[in-house]
């Protein structure tokens, strides 16, 4: 019996990122069980070594040092999200280690590590804002309001949004950054409404996304608004979605995977069957669309690379990952030189016909109609925003 | 972008927000302001109450405010128990209970956070009620009804507590107990029982405050950390133990936050409200209505 | 033992410790001990520095995170602007920390007890907000940092940081020990008990408070300054994390504040438990263990670990917030 | 109105410090008994034992009221206060951040006293007019002597039957000392108060005392049956009557 | 030995001092000179402003109007610790011990900061002061275990440890028996012989009479009498407001 192949990672299991971290980990665990059921990799079982980084950047350096130097893991996965990932980028570069990224945003742009591969569908940095503004301009949007959380992810989105707007000569009539832990958005929304924007681009964090939508519903946002949303983190999670219910209608927001017919690939359905069952026991997100399948896909890519290179040589694996397109449950994935997706596969989707207090409704198609990218599109934008809300 | 209308709206919304702050702080004003218990777990208790309300709302469809009222007796008992534990294991022995108490209650707060995570998971939770998500039209203005609810409840709570503390024998004993326990004993009152009872009240109030918290915005297990600064800020700015001061301080804070959010941009809001706290303390080191 | 031989023993101990640390960096290949050890040493420096103000003088500083973050961002700003070497970053961190300490010291003029503690929380939030809005150092999004090449005799940057942090911890301990044994210590203790009586007995309370704030603040910021190089990344929410405040206070109390060895023991215990928990019981349960430990210790050892070891330290333990 | 306090063989102290040794003493209804002794001899400790604030190591503490005997060593201070015992503690022990009125109202916490608040308030305001003037001042900002008055007044608010006073004259001006002592004497007549009083101002104390004890190193050295006997005692002569011209 | 001329310049000059609390005037235009080596008694009804006056002299309070000149230097704006270093020490009427320290350590604070010397010598001096105050047996006791009277004595001892030129005692003898009063008086008088100027606040008349070379009586913040003890005691206003005889 050969020793198992160890894959090491930290994962936020407490703190602000825990919700995503747990769902992501469950996706990876399902892959591990699948691959082990098939006899493992290179005939060896796969074992995960996972530590909690408490959603904090200051914990991860020591954890990854331990994974590499003490646990002597064979491969590294990154923790969910940007903040915990950022401090380990220089470390893996110095050590020449392969790192599979997990939904972080632009952490490799300054480091330039050539053995980094992000599983997220983000693609080029500006594609995100570009796709939203494409939709907005097509709907007749001429000026933009920007409301962003003072958090790294949202700020990164805001920066690209300002750039893209500038390039396209879209004036920004309102640009506010709100601090974490803001309780009440009524005041902010009143001010935003007073600016009479056509396009409202919101980059918010989970606790705030709900607050913003509530305030929008209560205070109103004005008939001028053609499109609302874009970068609201949180609206991908089942708990938030079922809380907000009908308040979601009309919002156009980014997503990564949705139960629309264009999104099913080889193994996708089987994956969600397993996930749904296990999520209940593990008390994690019951839908798990946003992160879990990408955790699984990360495993699939490693599986393919190891099986075809027939070794655990990290350079070889990196080379394979860089040069091939990979079939996964979230569709084909190909990487560009910086380790991000060659082409963006970040969805923009509009909520429609959502009722209150019902998680199950989100399992059926049509609740979130995909507007972008064209390849995956399942419907057209309803505009203006107010019209799309009923 | 400035307009009188916007300013007025900001003030109005700020008053409502302030009342909400008062409601979540007033218990602390008793437990910390009057009893000198360094209750840094107060916000954790608050979040726990919100989860209680959530549970009732979710499984029995009880109105969140009613649910808050329903768990109030439970929280009263919980407060009695919590104080008992604090007292027996701790206060009884240490002369420097105050600083160590901070560490103790931080420990308790961590434990509560984790227990909530184990029971409910890490996702956000919120409740539904007819008045959530609706607004009351007031001329041009639209005021969220959930904020009006917070306003009314906070006002009622503070008035009730203030009257209770100044007009009843028990209330006066509660205000005296931290100043000299032995002397209070000489008055024929058992200081431990008084403190326990007062702590019970301070915790019971959290039942309703917790309902408001989850009515106003969704909660998640570690939300308490965001409220440590805010609640202590309100209580200290008020002047320790002053109930009416708590309401005033909270409203000042709410209005300032709201004005800054509406007119100057949100990213400086926390700096400004806490700078105001420093300003108040610089002029009146004992707080607005402190003695 | 008399004072003199105490001193000789202490400095001999310091020398042995530093030599051991240096030797370790030369012979141990595995880097993990240095990553983890760095954090523990940092905790020692923080806890000892905190207790100079919080323990001796009884002014409970909740703003440890403010000083820590200021140290981090002084280093970041300096490094980004001039590429200054590590030692200069730390020195600058210490100076800025002392300046901030001076400001905090002025708060003690008017505010006693918990008012002071709350004011330090407020200060931390205000400074964090400033940093969040300061685009040069990356603002809220944080900033990634490329380490310069490591200097001899070290073969890895982390080992060097480990040694540097050991130096900082030793500095903090030496200063705390000096204060404790000098009349400054007695003056701080007197003003903790009764400021007016101390003043009327000839204790220059304002000066002592300012000195204590500046030393404590300078040391905390200095201990924070290398964190940017350690993480090779800095972001406001990590640098100004409230957990630094909680940990510093908890470690000092768990160890006991009557003697400088208390915070050291507390930091070693809590720091290594945290490190150990993070890599063993991996889930929310490790926070639970931490919470329970905190509660058990303050309950079970009212005078801290040193109170358990030497009951005569009954006096001087802890202050009023 | 039968009330008597009987103490037998009382030992008490603080850990290693033995403050009282075999103290035997009794106080009968309507009496005013003086307790003398130089500082640190255990007078206050004795008072605290009677109030239940210090638990005796051994000995008997019996308070009989209307034929019912209560073992004070087993009762809590609150229960003892409820029986109608009140102590004016040394060091005043006021609630510094409450006003004069609030301090007085707390004096009437005991259920029995609540109905008599108005009478008692009138009584103490009459005794110490300055308290009425300063009714809204915070107790902590009053002068030393004013605080002492407030402490006595607060104890009277509980309508006590047995009043223990630890050094009532400390910090009071000569005029107020004699007024206060006279007032205590008057109350004794008016409401049948029984008083046990530790008082160093011997000349004032014997104006109203019926008899007295001298406590030396925690032991009762002299139990005088009358004021004259006290005056004639050697220890008293040495401690209180000698020296100063 | 001091020259005649130097002895003539007052050690302490208080000029037109006025202190108000809110609307209440606690000190009203007080002027008084105190000579070097003088034993000065300060009396007055409760709340007449005695403590407030010495608070202004020691720097614990700042007067609204007026000046305090010590040894020819205007110290009105100096903080208390600098006044302590120049030689002004005081005791507190309501004791304010350093609770976390032993009695000996309490004294060491003053010796360390106001009268610095070598550590070993300091401890000796502290012990000798304690012995003179009759507190030697309590030197190692934590100060929070002292009785009230012991605390007052420690207050005085701690003030002495500052090695002052001017020692202000605020009712340090309250609660002492007359023989103990005598002992403390002897001590103070012997300090006076060492050229230390002493201001003593007391309500114990024998003590004031025996101790003071001059007595000043305050009433409602004003000086109503100032002179040799017998004169002041004979003053009609003093008798009405204060002595009551
Ligand atoms: N909490 C305590 N712990 C230890 N010893 C104490 C405590 N309280 C008092 N003592 C000691 O017990 C002895 C008796 O004290 P007590 O207060 O009863 O004396 P007293 O006769 O009232 O004296 P005084 O006239 O000074 O008030 C004193 O020596 C005192 O130091
Ligand atoms: N902080 C304060 N606020 C309001 N009034 C005050 C304050 N401090 C003192 N007073 C008042 O000033 C007056 C003078 O007080 P002071 O303490 O000087 O009296 P005293 O002469 O020392 O009296 P005693 O003999 O009773 O100690 C008193 O009426 C007192 O109530
Ligand atoms: Mg006594
Ligand atoms: Mg006085």
Which residue on chain D is closest to B241 by alpha carbon? D97
- Residue D5: enclosing H or E segment and its boundaries? strand D3-14
Position in ligand 1 atom list of the atom nearest CA E146: 31
Q: Is E20 in the pocket of ligand 2 (CB under 6 A)?
A: no
Q: Is D13 in a helix, a strand, or coil?
A: strand
Residue spans of alpha helices (H) in D27-91: 43-51, 77-82
Alpha-carbon distance B111 to A36, whole Å?
36
In 3D space, the residue among D72, D103, D78 whose CA is nearest the CA of residue B188 turns out to be D78
Q: Best of D13, D21, D35, D43 to mutate for ligand 1, by most ligand atoms within 8 A of CB?
A: D43
Residues 6 or more apart from D181 whose CB is under 8 A from it? D168, D169, D201, D204, D205, D207, D208
- Please check the confidence at residue B177 and state whether its pLDDT lies above 80: yes
Residue C311 lies in a domain: no
Residue C250 lies in a domain: no
CATH number assigned to the domain comprising residue E188: 3.40.50.300
Q: Of E221, E244, E217, E214, nearest to E10 (Cα)? A: E214
For an interface test with C, the pick among B35, B37, B99, B277 (most C C-beta atoms closer than 10 Å) comes out as: B99
- Phi, psi (deg, nearest 5) at residue E201: -100, 125
What DSSP character marks residue C151? Answer: P
- The predicted complex's ipTM stands at 0.87
Q: According to the model, what pLDDT value does residue A155 have? A: 86
- B188–D89 CB contact, under 8 Å: no
The rounded mean pLDDT for chain A is: 92
Q: Among all chains, which residue has been given the structure tokens 């929008």?
A: A216
Rounded to a whole number of angstroms, the CA Rg of chain D reads 17
Please name the residues in contact with A272: beta carbons below 8 A apart, sequence gap of 6 or more: A288, A293
pLDDT in tens, C71-117: 999 999 999 999 999 999 999 999 999 999 999 888 877 777 777 88
| E21 CA to centre of ligand 4 in angstroms | 15
Give how many domains chain C has, as a whole number: 1
Q: Do chains C and B touch (3 or more CB pairs under 8 A)?
A: yes
Cβ within 8 Å, pair E46-D38: no
**Domain boundaries defined on chain B:** 27-223
Q: What is the edge-to-edge ordering of all strands in the sheet holding A46-52?
A: A46-52, A5-11, A75-77, A99-101, A116-118
Per-residue tokens: C288: 């639970």
Q: Of the ranges B245-249, D43-47, D217-221, D233-237, which one carries the lowest mean pLDDT score?
A: D233-237
Whether residue D177 has its Cβ less than 6 Å from ligand 2? no
Residue C303: the pLDDT is: 78
Does the beta carbon of D130 lie inside 6 Å of ligand 2?
Answer: no
C-alpha–C-alpha distance, residues C81 and C246, integer Å: 32
Confidence bin at D167 (pLDDT 50/70/90): confident
Query: Considering only residues 18 to 57 of chain A, which have any Cβ-Cβ distance to chain C shorter than 8 Å?
Result: 18, 50-54, 56-57
Three-state SS for A29-93 is: HHHHHHHHHCCCECCECEEEEEEECCCCCCCHHHHHHHHHHCCCCCEEECCCCHHHHCCHHHHHH
Distance from CA of B166 to the nearest CA of A (A): 32
pLDDT of residue D242: 62
Provide the domain limits for residue E78.
Answer: 12-100+166-243
**Residue C301 touches chain B, beta carbons under 8 Å:** no
Tokens 């007796």, residue located: B73
Contact assessment for residue C212 and residue C46, using Cβ atoms and an 8 Å cutoff: no
How does residue D70 score in pLDDT terms, banded at 50, 70 and 90? very high
Helix (H) or strand (E) run with residue E222 in it = strand E222-227
List the single best residue of D35, D153, D171, D238 to mutate versus E (max E Cβ within 10 A). D171
Task: For residue D120, give both structure tokens.
Answer: 């008692």
Judged against a pLDDT cut of 60, whether residue E28 lies above it is answered with yes
- Residue E63 lies inside a defined structural domain of this protein: yes
Q: Which of C140, C151, C137 is nearest to C80 (CA)?
A: C137
Determine the Cα–Cα distance for residues B73 and B203; give it in Å rounded to an integer. 9
Domains, chain D, ranges and CATH? 3-241 (3.40.50.300)
**Bridge partners of A51?**
A10
Closest CA to E181 of D90, D231, D39, D148: D39
pLDDT for the residue A258: 96
Interface membership of C302 toward B (CB under 8 Å): yes
Q: Within 13 Å and on the Cβ side, how many CA atoms surround B196?
A: 18
**C211 neighbourhood in chain E, CB within 8 Å:** none
**C294 touching B, CB under 8 A?**
yes
Asked if the Cβ–Cβ distance from D114 to B182 is below 8 Å, we say no
CB contact under 8 A, B102 and C112: no
A81 and A260 Cβ atoms separated by less than 8 Å: no
pLDDT for E117: 65
Pocket test for ligand 1, best of E143, E147, E153, E178 (most atoms within 8 A of CB): E147
| Measured torsion, CA atoms of residues D129, D130, D131, D133, in degrees rounded to the nearest 10 | 100
**Arithmetic mean of pLDDT, E69-92:** 93
Q: Which of B103, B179, B220, B231 to mutate to test binding with chain C, by most C CBs within 10 Å of its CB? A: B103
Which residues are paired to A99 by β-bridges? A76, A116
Q: Does a structural domain hold residue C252?
A: no
Least confident of A55-69, B261-275, C66-80, D96-110: B261-275
DSSP codes joined into one string, B65-105: HHHHHHHHHHHHHHHHHHHHHHIIIIITT-TTHHHHHHHHH
Contact assessment for residue C232 and residue C146, using Cβ atoms and an 8 Å cutoff: yes
Least Cα distance to C91 among C196, C273, C225 occurs for C225
| Residue among C115, C122, C286 with most chain B CBs within 10 A, to mutate | C122
Confidence of residue B93 (pLDDT cuts 50, 70, 90): low
Mean pLDDT of A251-260: 95
Beta bridge partners of D62: D6, D71
Rounded mean pLDDT, E181-198: 88
C308 touches chain B (CB under 8 A): no
Strand duo E73-74 + E88-90: pairing: unpaired
Return d(Cα D182, Cα A15) in angstroms, integer: 70
> How many whole angstroms separate alpha carbon E216 and alpha carbon E223?
7
In contact, A106 and A161? CB cutoff 8 Å = no
Does A1 have pLDDT greater than 70? yes
Going by C-alpha positions, the residue among A106, A57, A90 that lies closest to residue C69 is A57
Q: What is the C-alpha separation between E42 and E202, in angstroms, rounded?
A: 7
CA dihedral B94→B99→B100→B101, nearest 10 degrees, is 90
Query: What does residue C301 show for φ and ψ, rounded to 5 degrees?
Result: -130, 80
E148 touches ligand 1 (CB under 6 Å): yes
Q: How many CB atoms are located within 10 Å of the residue A107 CB?
A: 28
Write the residue in D44, D146, D167 that is nearest to E47 by C-beta: D146
Nearest to D53 among B173, B182, B188 (CB): B182
Structure tokens, B188: 């024929």
Run of H or E including E80 = helix E80-86
Cα-based distances in Å from A37 to A43, A44, A279: 11, 11, 20
Whether the Cβ atoms of residue B101 and residue B90 lie closer than 8 Å to each other = yes
SS (H, E, C) E6-74: HHHCCCEEEEEEEEEECCEEEEEEEEEEECCCCEEEEECCCCCCHHHHHHHHHCCCCCCEEEEEECCEE
- How crowded is the C-beta side of A379, counted as CA atoms within 13 Å? 17
Ligand 2 close to Cβ of residue E48 (< 6 A): yes
- Which pair of structure tokens corresponds to residue E157? 């001892």
pLDDT at position D71: 93
Q: Which pLDDT band, with edges at 50, 70 and 90, does D191 fall under?
A: confident
Q: How far apart are CA B205 and CA D136, in angstroms?
A: 30
| DSSP secondary structure string for all residues of chain B | ---HHHHHHHHHHHHHHHHHHHHHHHHHIIIIIIT----TTHHHHHHHHHHHHHHHHHHH---HHHHHHHHHHHHHHHHHHHHHHHIIIIITT-TTHHHHHHHHHHHHHHHHHHHHHHHH-SS-B----TTTT-EEEETTEEEEHHHHHHHHHHHHHHHHHHHHHHHSHHHHHHHHHTT-HHHHHHTT--HHHHHHHHHHHHHHHHHHHHHHHHHHS-B-GGGHHHHHHHHHHHHHHH-TT-HHHHHHHHHHHHHHHHHIIIII-GGGHHHHHHHHHHHHHHH-TT-TT--
**Residue E32 counted as domain residue:** yes
Average pLDDT, chain B: 87
Q: Are strands A347-351 and A252-255 parallel, antiparallel or unpaired?
A: antiparallel
CB contact under 8 A, C199 and E100: no
pLDDT in tens, C128-160: 989 988 889 988 888 988 888 888 788 889 999
Measure the CA–CA gap between A366 and A382, rounded to whole angstroms: 13
Neighbours of chain D (3+ CB pairs under 8 A): B, E
Tell me if chain E has a CB within 8 Å of the CB of D140.
no
Instruction: Say whether D244 and E44 touch across the interface (CB within 8 A).
Output: no
- Please tell me which of the candidates E48, E176, E205 has its beta carbon nearest to residue D174: E205
Of all helices (H) and strands (E), which one includes residue D219?
strand D219-224
Residue A179: DSSP 8-state = -
User: What are the tens digits of pLDDT across the range A86-141?
Assistant: 999 999 998 999 999 999 988 898 889 999 999 999 998 888 899 999 999 999 99
Query: Is the minimum distance from the CB of E23 to ligand 2 under 6 angstroms?
Result: no
**C275-314 per-position pLDDT tens digit:** 888 777 666 777 788 788 888 887 777 778 887 776 554 4
Domain that holds residue C182: 3-241
Atom of ligand 2 nearest to the CA of E49: 18
Give CA–CA dist A165/D121, Å, rounded.
77
List the residue whose alpha carbon is closest to atom 13 of ligand 2.
E47
E45 C-alpha to center of ligand 4: Å?
Answer: 9
Q: Which residues of chain B does C125 touch, with a Cβ-Cβ cutoff of 8 Å?
A: 229, 270-271, 274
Burial track A258-285 (b if 16+ CB lie within 10 A, e otherwise): bbbeebebebbeebbebbeebbeeeebb
Q: Strand A46-52 to strand A5-11: parallel, antiparallel, or no bridges (unpaired)?
A: parallel
E150 in contact with ligand 1, CB cutoff 6 A? yes
Q: Does B268 touch chain C (CB under 8 A)?
A: yes
D127: Cβ below 6 Å to ligand 2? no
What are the angstrom distances between the C-alpha of A390 and each of A353, A370, B119, C263, D113?
7, 18, 36, 62, 68
Tokens of B267: 């990213």
What count of CB pairs under 8 Å joins A to B?
135
Phi-psi region of E29 (alpha: psi -120 to 50; beta: other; left: phi over 0): left
């Amino acid at each position: 019996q050969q020793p198992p192949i160890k894959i090491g990672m930290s994962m936020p299991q407490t703190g602000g990122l825990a919700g995503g971290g747990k769902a992501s980990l469950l996706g990876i665990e399902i892959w591990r069980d699948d691959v082990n059921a098939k006899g493992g990799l290179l005939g060896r079982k796969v074992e995960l070594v996972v530590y909690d980084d408490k959603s904090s950047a200051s914990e991860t350096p020591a954890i990854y040092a331990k994974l590499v130097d003490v646990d002597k893991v064979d491969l590294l996965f990154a923790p969910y999200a940007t903040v915990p990932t950022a401090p380990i980028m220089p470390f893996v570069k110095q050590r020449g280690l392969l790192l599979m990224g997990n939904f972080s945003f632009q952490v490799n742009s300054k480091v330039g590590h050539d053995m980094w591969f992000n599983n997220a569908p983000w693609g080029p940095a500006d594609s995100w804002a570009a796709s939203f503004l494409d939709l907005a301009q097509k709907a007749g949007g001429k000026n933009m309001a920007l409301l962003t959380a003072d958090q790294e992810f949202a700020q990164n989105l805001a920066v690209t949004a300002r750039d893209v707007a500038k390039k396209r000569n879209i004036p920004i009539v309102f640009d506010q950054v709100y601090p974490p832990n803001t309780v009440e958005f009524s005041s902010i929304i009143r001010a935003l409404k007073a600016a009479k924007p056509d396009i409202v681009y919101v980059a918010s964090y989970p606790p705030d996304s709900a607050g913003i939508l509530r305030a929008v519903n209560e205070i109103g946002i004005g008939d001028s608004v053609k499109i609302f949303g874009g970068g609201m983190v949180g609206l991908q999670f089942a708990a938030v979605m079922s809380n907000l219910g009908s308040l979601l209608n009309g919002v156009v927001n980014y997503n990564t995977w949705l139960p629309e017919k264009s999104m099913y690939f080889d193994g996708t359905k089987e994956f969600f069957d397993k996930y749904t069952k296990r999520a209940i026991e593990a008390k994690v997100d019951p839908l798990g669309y946003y992160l879990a399948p990408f955790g699984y896909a990360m495993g699939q890519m490693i599986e393919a690379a190891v099986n075809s290179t027939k070794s655990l040589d990290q350079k070889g694996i990196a080379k394979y990952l860089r040069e091939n397109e990979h079939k996964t449950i979230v569709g084909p994935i190909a990487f560009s030189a910086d380790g991000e997706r060659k082409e963006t596969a970040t969805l923009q989707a509009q909520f429609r016909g959502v009722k209150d207090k019902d998680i199950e409704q989100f399992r059926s198609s049509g609740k979130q109609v995909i507007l972008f990218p064209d390849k995956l599109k399942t419907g057209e934008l309803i505009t203006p925003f107010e019209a799309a809300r009923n | 972008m400035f307009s009188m209308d916007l300013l007025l709206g900001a003030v109005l919304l700020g008053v409502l927000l302030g009342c909400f702050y008062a409601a979540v702080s007033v218990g602390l004003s008793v437990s910390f302001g009057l009893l000198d218990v360094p209750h840094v777990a107060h916000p954790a208790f608050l979040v726990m109450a919100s989860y209680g309300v959530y549970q009732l709302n979710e499984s029995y469809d009880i109105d969140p405010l009613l649910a808050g009222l329903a768990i109030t007796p439970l929280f009263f008992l919980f407060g009695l128990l919590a104080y008992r534990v604090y007292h027996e294991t701790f206060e009884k022995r240490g002369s420097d209970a105050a600083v160590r108490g901070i560490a103790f209650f931080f420990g308790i707060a961590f434990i509560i956070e984790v227990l909530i995570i184990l029971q409910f998971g890490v996702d956000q939770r919120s409740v539904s009620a007819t008045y959530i998500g609706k607004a009351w039209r007031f001329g041009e203005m639209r005021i969220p009804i959930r904020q009006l609810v917070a306003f009314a409840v906070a006002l009622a709570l503070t008035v009730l507590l203030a009257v209770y503390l100044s007009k009843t024998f028990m209330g006066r004993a509660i205000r005296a107990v931290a100043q000299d326990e032995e002397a209070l004993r000489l008055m024929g009152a058992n200081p431990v029982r008084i403190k326990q009872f007062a702590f019970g009240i301070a915790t019971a109030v959290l039942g309703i405050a917790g309902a408001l918290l989850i009515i106003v915005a969704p909660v998640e297990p570690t939300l308490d950390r965001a409220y440590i600064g805010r609640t202590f800020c309100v209580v200290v700015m008020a002047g320790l133990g002053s109930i009416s001061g708590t309401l005033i301080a909270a409203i000042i804070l709410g209005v300032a936050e709201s004005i800054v959010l509406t007119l100057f941009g949100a990213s400086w809001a926390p700096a400004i409200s806490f700078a105001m706290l420093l300003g108040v303390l610089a002029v009146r080191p004992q707080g607005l209505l402190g003695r | 033992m008399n004072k003199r031989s105490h001193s000789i023993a202490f400095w001999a101990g310091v020398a042995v410790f530093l030599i051991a640390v240096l030797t370790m960096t030369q012979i141990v290949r595995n880097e993990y001990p240095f990553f983890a050890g760095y954090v523990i040493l940092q905790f020692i420096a923080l806890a000892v520095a905190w207790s100079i103000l919080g323990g001796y003088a009884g002014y409970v500083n909740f703003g440890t995170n403010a000083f820590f973050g200021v140290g981090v961002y002084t280093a970041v700003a300096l490094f980004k602007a001039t590429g200054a070497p590590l030692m200069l970053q730390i020195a600058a961190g210490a100076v800025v920390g002392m300046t901030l300490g001076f400001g905090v010291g002025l708060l003690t003029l008017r505010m006693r007890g918990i008012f002071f503690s709350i004011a330090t929380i407020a200060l931390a939030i205000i400074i964090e907000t400033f940093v969040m809005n300061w685009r040069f150092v990356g603002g809220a999004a944080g900033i990634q940092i490329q380490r310069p090449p490591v200097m001899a005799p070290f073969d890895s940057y982390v080992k060097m940081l480990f040694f540097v942090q050991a130096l900082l911890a030793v500095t903090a301990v030496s200063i705390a020990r000096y204060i404790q044994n000098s009349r400054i210590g007695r003056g701080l203790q007197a003003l903790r008990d009764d400021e007016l009586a101390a003043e009327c007995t000839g204790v220059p309370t304002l000066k002592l408070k300012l000195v204590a704030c500046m030393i404590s603040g300078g040391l905390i910021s200095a201990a924070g300054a290398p964190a940017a190089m350690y993480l090779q990344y800095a972001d406001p929410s990590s640098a100004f994390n409230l957990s630094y405040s909680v940990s510093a206070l908890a470690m000092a109390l768990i160890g006991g504040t009557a003697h400088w060895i208390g915070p050291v023991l507390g930091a070693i215990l809590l720091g290594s438990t945290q490190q150990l928990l993070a890599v063993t019981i991996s889930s929310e349960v490790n926070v639970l263990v931490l919470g329970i430990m905190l509660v058990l210790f303050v309950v079970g050892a009212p005078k801290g670990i040193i109170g358990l070891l030497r009951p005569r330290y009954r006096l001087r333990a802890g202050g009023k917030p | 109105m039968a009330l008597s306090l009987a103490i037998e063989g009382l030992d008490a102290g603080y850990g290693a410090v033995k403050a009282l040794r075999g103290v035997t003493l009794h106080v009968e209804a309507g009496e005013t008994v003086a307790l003398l002794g130089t500082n640190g001899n255990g007078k206050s400790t004795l008072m605290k034992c009677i109030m239940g604030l210090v638990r005796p190591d051994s000995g008997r503490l019996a308070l009989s009221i209307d034929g019912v005997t209560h073992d004070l060593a087993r009762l809590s201070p609150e229960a003892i206060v409820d029986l109608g015992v009140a102590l004016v503690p040394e060091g005043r022990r006021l609630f510094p951040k409450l006003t004069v009125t609030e301090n007085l109202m707390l004096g009437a916490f005991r259920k029995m006293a609540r109905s008599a608040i108005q009478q008692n308030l009138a009584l103490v305001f009459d005794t110490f007019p300055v308290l009425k003037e300063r009714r809204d001042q915070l107790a902590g900002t009053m002068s030393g002597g004013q605080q002492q008055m407030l402490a006595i007044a607060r104890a009277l608010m509980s309508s006590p039957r047995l009043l223990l006073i630890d050094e009532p004259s400390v910090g009071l001006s000569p005029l107020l000392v004699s007024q206060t002592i006279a007032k205590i004497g008057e109350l004794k007549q008016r409401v049948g108060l029984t008083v046990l009083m530790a008082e160093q101002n011997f000349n004032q104390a014997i104006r109203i005392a019926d008899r007295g004890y001298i406590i030396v190193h925690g032991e009762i050295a002299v139990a005088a049956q009358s004021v004259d006997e006290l005056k004639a005692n050697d220890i008293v002569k040495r401690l209180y009557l000698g020296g100063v011209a | 030995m001091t020259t005649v001329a130097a002895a003539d310049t007052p050690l302490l000059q208080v000029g037109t001092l006025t202190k108000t609390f809110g609307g209440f005037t606690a000190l009203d235009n007080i002027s008084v000179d105190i000579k070097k080596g003088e034993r000065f008694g300060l009396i007055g009804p409760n709340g007449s402003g005695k403590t407030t006056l010495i608070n202004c002299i020691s720097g614990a309070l700042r007067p609204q109007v007026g000046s305090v000149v010590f040894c020819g230097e205007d110290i009105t704006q100096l903080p208390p610790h600098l006044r302590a270093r120049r030689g002004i020490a005081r005791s507190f009427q309501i004791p304010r011990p350093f609770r976390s320290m032993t009695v000996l350590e309490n004294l060491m604070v003053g010796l360390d900061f106001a009268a610095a010397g070598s550590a070993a010598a300091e401890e000796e001096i502290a012990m000798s002061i304690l012995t003179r105050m009759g507190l030697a047996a309590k030197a190692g006791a934590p100060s929070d275990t002292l009785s009230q009277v012991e605390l007052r004595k420690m207050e005085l001892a701690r003030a002495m440890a500052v090695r002052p030129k001017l020692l202000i005692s605020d009712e340090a003898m309250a609660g002492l028996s007359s023989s103990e009063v005598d002992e403390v008086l002897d001590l103070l008088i012997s300090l006076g012989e060492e050229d230390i100027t002493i201001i003593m606040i007391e309500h114990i008349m024998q003590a004031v009479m025996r101790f003071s070379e001059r007595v000043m009586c305050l009433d409602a913040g004003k000086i109503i009498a100032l002179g040799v003890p017998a004169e002041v005691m004979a003053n009609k206003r003093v008798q009405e407001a204060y002595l009551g005889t």
